[in-house]
Structure 1
Amino acid sequence: MTNAINRAKYIAMDKRAQILLKTLVEHYISDGQPIGSRTLLQHSGLDVSAATIRNVMSDLEQLGFIASPHTSAGRIPTQKGYRLFVDSLLTVQPLETQAIQQLKSGLSSPNPTELIASAADMLSQLTQFAGLVMIPKRKRVAFKHLEFLPLSETRILVIIVTSDGNVQNRILMAEKKYSQSELTQASNYFNANFSGQTFEEVQQKLHIELQQMQSDMNRLMAAALEASSKAVDSNKDGVVIAGERNLLQVDELSTNVSSLRKLFEIFERRTSLMQLLDNSQRAEGIQIFIGGESGYLPLDECSMITAPYEADGQVVGTLGVIGPTRMAYERVIPIVDVTAKLLSNALSNN
């Protein structure tokens, strides 16, 4: 065991092994084909013999950094190999000026909701993978004003205004016809007794007070409170995803129906993505999850790159990209990083 650890340290520190692993990963990311010793000899820049190349490759394979697929004479990187590559060997490329301008143009809306959706779209467009943005958790918002307006005999429009200036409209289907005076009475009651309180506080107090009111008005108030709560917390999924279908074009995924099914189940449920993004929010800077090492993405063929974003100096969410493990990390990482910074600036300036 001790010998294996020492040998692993030697390989990790040995410059020649690092160069060969870096060359192998870069070529595999580029063309998707197993890499043989002859190719490595040609492109590594090392002045060594083919036998030396084969010996180092054998060491790397025994240590789990590379593997031989099927009967091929070439090798491909393993999850462990990708991890060493992105942690120690990767040379990140600066983002192209054209891509930066595209991001700035796409993240120019004054509406925070549109900014979140645009960021997911931009991530997807620039990487051709799936882009996702965690929706900021709304602060505890106070109720400011509510108004009931009759639309028909049983349809009532509820206009809800919150303390942060947000206005939401919801339609209630009433069990009976309410007169204008009854609706005005209900509006006045709400506004006089609950203005300035959070919806959680309103819900607790109203539950007790409604027991003392007429049964018909009771049902109307309860329906209004439910509609108000949904209006404030309308983003129940918590994450915006764009470009999932791009992953259908990835060879490693498109040929594995089982993997695709698992991946799209994750997109559909979103719970695992939310947990992963929430955990990433607590970390600083870029986070890279390769294969199943996150514990949330069960696919060895996928990697996820995330970065937190801010509003007014406070971290409010996380954004990222899901793609194949065989992705151009040196390009995707700056796309995620720059998008997070530009989204932070846009949200802070609104």
Structure 2
Amino acid sequence: MLDERSKMLLKALVERYIADGQPVGSRTLSKASGLELSPATIRNVMSDLEEMGLIVSPHTSAGRIPTARGYRLFVDTMLTVQPTQYSSHSLAPDQPQKVISNAANLLSSLSQFVGVVITPRRSSAFRHMEFLRLSEKRLLVIIVSPEGDVQNRVIYTEVDYTQAQLIEAANFLNSNYVGLDIDQVRGRLQGEVESLRSEIAALMQAAVNVSTEAIEDTEDEVVIAGERNLLSVSDFSSDMGHLRRAFDLFEQKAQLMRLLDIAGQAEGVRIYIGGESQVVPFEDLSIVSSPYEVDGKVVGTLGVIGPTRMPYDRMIQIVDITSKLMSNALSHHK
């Protein structure tokens, strides 16, 4: 347990290091903390904090920097978040994919770090389907998901369908199969092939096959914005190894999804500090994340990824407001 004086000095040290990026010495800490303490007293407290694993002395510097444990204690017990200053921003209701892309860009531009959004898990069903004749034996299938996403797929057919046949097939699908899982539709179609005219049945089966592809193409995506922002972060620009590890993480989207999936199981804004556990195995990166909802149901996760030395109070505000804006935009898009 830390006494009040040690807490104040640790808080001042973390805040100063986040602001400047330089190891904090006892003289700087004396000014930053506002405490009337002798340099010797401050050095003794810093020595105690170092023994507890909360701060560390890098290389031969006389100053100290926070460890993952130090950041964690700071975030959990000392961080004060002011009322949000980002409430003037907005995300307009639109196609879900566009809302998600806009949210990732908003996270990135406000934080100046990397914005990440895991797309909602989609139901493998459709809300509406249409056929458009492009040329002889070449059709455009327009598939609208229950979430409002629109997917277009071109199919080539053995028969040259008339516009009347295309309307008939679309009407049959929209009247009988809306809301059903695509696999259920496929099974039902095979059973009803006898009662449908063969050329219409073939068209519907082709449409169902292409719908499966469209749904699989958009499943479990990670949308990332602002990776280049890390190039201007001194913690990374001075160490190409750190930067390479960060970019490797963005390329390994499966790993990124696992990180954010863990975050999505928690309520509200959560902070994962690099190096403190296997959740974020990179010592130089931290994640501030929050789940987002559609109509009151959690469907995905978004967050900011940046250096461990990030202004956590601002990141919490940015992630929190973006989560609310995104939930609102997706819930009002019908």
Q: For 2:223, what is the secondary structure of its paired residue?
A: strand
The aligned counterpart of 1:23 is 12
> How far 1:304 moved relative to its partner?
0.4
C-alpha offsets along residues 243-262 of structure 1, whole Å, 9 cap, x if unaligned?
A: 11101111111222222222
The aligned counterpart of 2:134 is 151
C-alpha offsets along residues 305-337 of structure 1, whole Å, 9 cap, x if unaligned?
A: 011222222222221100101111121111111
Q: Is the 2:9–2:29 Cα contact (8 Å) retained in structure 1? A: yes
Structure 1: how far apart are the matches of 2:149 and 2:21? 50
The aligned counterpart of 2:173 is 191
Structure 1: how far apart are the matches of 2:201 and 2:248? 41
Structure 1: how far apart are the matches of 2:37 and 2:170? 86
- CA RMSD, Structure 1 to Structure 2 (Å): 3.2
Q: Is the 2:58–2:64 Cα contact (8 Å) retained in structure 1? A: yes
The aligned counterpart of 2:237 is 254
Q: Is the 1:276–1:294 Cα contact (8 Å) retained in structure 2? A: no
- Given the superposition, is the C-alpha separation of residues 228 and 59 from structure 1 closer, same or farther in structure 2, using an over 3 Å criterion? same
- Given the superposition, is the C-alpha separation of residues 164 and 333 from structure 1 closer, same or farther in structure 2, using an over 3 Å criterion? closer
Structure 1: how far apart are the matches of 2:249 and 2:191? 41
> How far 1:219 moved relative to its partner?
8.1
Q: For 2:275, what is the secondary structure of its paired residue?
A: helix
The aligned counterpart of 2:295 is 312
| 2:252 paired with 1:269 | yes
Structure 2: how far apart are the matches of 1:226 and 1:69? 59
> How far 1:190 moved relative to its partner?
6.9
Q: Is the 2:108–2:226 Cα contact (8 Å) retained in structure 1? A: yes
Residues 96-245 of structure 1 mapped to structure 2, 5 A cutoff: 96=85, 99-101=86-88, 103-104=89-90, 107-142=91-126, 144-147=128-131, 149-153=132-136, 155-161=138-144, 167-173=150-156, 177-180=158-161, 184=165, 187=169, 191=173, 195-196=177-178, 197-205=180-188, 223-245=206-228
Q: For 1:138, what is the secondary structure of its paired residue?
A: coil
Match of 1:278 among 250, 253, 261: 261
The aligned counterpart of 1:35 is 24
Q: Is the 1:146–1:190 Cα contact (8 Å) retained in structure 2? A: no
The aligned counterpart of 1:5 is none
Q: Is the 1:168–1:231 Cα contact (8 Å) retained in structure 2? A: yes
- Given the superposition, is the C-alpha separation of residues 191 and 94 from structure 1 closer, same or farther in structure 2, using an over 3 Å criterion? closer
Q: Is the 1:146–1:191 Cα contact (8 Å) retained in structure 2? A: no
Deviation larger for 182-191 or 78-87: 182-191
Letter in 2 for 1:314: K
Q: Is the 1:290–1:325 Cα contact (8 Å) retained in structure 2? A: yes
Q: Is the 2:274–2:280 Cα contact (8 Å) retained in structure 1? A: yes
Q: Which runs of 5+ in 1 are unaligned?
A: 1-8
Q: For 2:87, what is the secondary structure of its paired residue?
A: helix
Question: How many residues are aligned here?
Answer: 331
The aligned counterpart of 2:324 is 341
The aligned counterpart of 1:63 is 52
Structure 2: how far apart are the matches of 1:155 and 1:261? 45
The alignment's TM-score, normalised by the length of structure 1, stands at: 0.82
Deviation larger for 149-158 or 133-142: 149-158
- Given the superposition, is the C-alpha separation of residues 223 and 199 from structure 1 closer, same or farther in structure 2, using an over 3 Å criterion? same
Q: Is the 1:302–1:325 Cα contact (8 Å) retained in structure 2? A: yes
The aligned counterpart of 1:86 is 75
> How far 1:143 moved relative to its partner?
6.0
Q: Is the 1:145–1:195 Cα contact (8 Å) retained in structure 2? A: no
The aligned counterpart of 1:3 is none
> How far 1:280 moved relative to its partner?
1.8
The aligned counterpart of 1:95 is 84
Structure showing the higher helix proportion among its residues: 1
Letter in 2 for 1:84: L
| 2:31 paired with 1:48 | no
Q: Is the 2:96–2:148 Cα contact (8 Å) retained in structure 1? A: no
- Given the superposition, is the C-alpha separation of residues 166 and 290 from structure 1 closer, same or farther in structure 2, using an over 3 Å criterion? closer
Q: Is the 1:145–1:162 Cα contact (8 Å) retained in structure 2? A: no
Structure 2: how far apart are the matches of 1:263 and 1:223? 42
Structure 1: how far apart are the matches of 2:149 and 2:134? 22
Q: Is the 2:55–2:64 Cα contact (8 Å) retained in structure 1? A: yes
- Given the superposition, is the C-alpha separation of residues 113 and 192 from structure 1 closer, same or farther in structure 2, using an over 3 Å criterion? closer
Letter in 1 for 2:70: G
> How far 1:108 moved relative to its partner?
2.1
Q: Is the 1:210–1:218 Cα contact (8 Å) retained in structure 2? A: yes
Q: Is the 2:293–2:299 Cα contact (8 Å) retained in structure 1? A: yes
